Amino acid sequence: MDIAAVWHDTTEKVKDRVVHPTLWRALETAIPITTEGDLFVVGFAPGTMHLSGHLQSSDHRNAIEAALLASSGKKLRLCVIDGATMEDWEHFKARQKANEEARMRLRERARREMETTQTWESVFEKLGRTYASMNLRQLPQVRGRYLMEAIRMISEAMDELYDEQSPDEPSQRALARIIDRVGTLTEVPPAIIALELLRYRSSR
């Protein structure tokens, strides 16, 4: 494909369809760089990038892509970059790839945090059911027995879910919430529950 000829023809077609002198100037200033897959890549040399926005508004983009189809015979998506060379295009793709990888890492982290939270929530639900099933739970000795059982259950969950050597932040926060909630049920300060949990685990 002669991309220069296609872009010139596209520019003329858009001029016929859209009366917008600033858009015309942007089209004439844009430099066709390459096609890749279904992308038609154009760029702007230093000092002219401010014109690129006229190509990227939805109405103008639709008109340009329709003209590209008529000029090239292929359905192409317009890709506008800052730069006017193949090297600039390669840098653009590298940045896009890095950004996508960063987004994937964030999504994966969010997924892990959600899974961690949900798993710990199931532990607390079990603790809550155990507490609700106890008779005379308002009595301190009954709460004491519940607290011993809760510490055992939390410790078992830690064996499965918690990396004690290098725990990640979501796991630490989830464990803290569990301890806080048990403290609320038993009216025992969370720090005391945490201390007893540490004693229990160190005594095994």
Which band of pLDDT confidence, cut at 50, 70 and 90, is reported for residue 27?
very high
Do 192 and 140 lie in a common domain? yes
Query: How much is the average pLDDT of 182-202?
Result: 93
Residue 145 in domain: yes
pLDDT (tens digit per residue) in 46-76? 999 999 999 999 999 999 999 999 999 999 9
Q: For residue 158, which of 189, 201, 122 has the smallest C-alpha distance?
A: 201
Angle formed at CA 44 by CA 53 and CA 27, multiple of 5 degrees: 60
Do 197 and 164 lie in a common domain? yes
Domain span at residue 24 reads 3-84
Which band of pLDDT confidence, cut at 50, 70 and 90, is reported for residue 122?
confident
Amino acid 161: pLDDT: 79
Q: Residue 181's Cα: distance from chain center in Å? A: 30
Which band of pLDDT confidence, cut at 50, 70 and 90, is reported for residue 37?
very high
42, 32 in Cβ contact below 8 A?
yes
Residue 17 in domain: yes
Phi, psi for 79 (deg, rounded to 5): -125, 120
Which band of pLDDT confidence, cut at 50, 70 and 90, is reported for residue 3?
very high
Which band of pLDDT confidence, cut at 50, 70 and 90, is reported for residue 4?
very high
Residue 101 in domain: no
Angle formed at CA 76 by CA 75 and CA 79, multiple of 5 degrees: 165
Amino acid 201: pLDDT: 92
State how many domains the chain has: 2
Do 129 and 79 lie in a common domain? no
Cα(112)–Cα(104) distance, integer angstroms: 12
Residue 54 in domain: yes
Which residues, in sequence order, are CB contacts of 48 under 8 Å at separation 6+?
A: 29
End-to-end CA gap in the chain = 74
Amino acid 123: pLDDT: 85
Cα(175)–Cα(192) distance, integer angstroms: 14
Q: Where a domain ends, among 23, 49, 84?
A: 84
Q: Between 116 and 23, where is the model more confident?
A: 23
Do 15 and 69 lie in a common domain? yes
Q: In the predicted model, is pLDDT for residue 137 greater than 90?
A: no
Residue 10 in domain: yes
Do 48 and 122 lie in a common domain? no
Q: For residue 30, which of 61, 58, 59 has the smallest C-alpha distance?
A: 61
Which band of pLDDT confidence, cut at 50, 70 and 90, is reported for residue 125?
confident
Q: In the predicted model, is pLDDT for residue 116 greater than 80?
A: no
Residue 9 in domain: yes
Residue 135 in domain: yes
Amino acid 9: pLDDT: 96
Q: For residue 92, which of 78, 101, 80 has the smallest C-alpha distance?
A: 80
Do 123 and 191 lie in a common domain? yes
Average pLDDT over all residues of the chain: 91
Q: Residue 51's domain is classified under what CATH number?
A: 3.30.300.180
Structure tokens at 104: 């994937």
Do 73 and 10 lie in a common domain? yes
Q: Which residues pair with 36 in a beta bridge?
A: 39
User: For the whole model, what pTM was predicted?
Assistant: 0.61
Which residue intervals of 79-189 are DSSP H helices?
86-132, 140-161, 169-186
Residue 73 in domain: yes
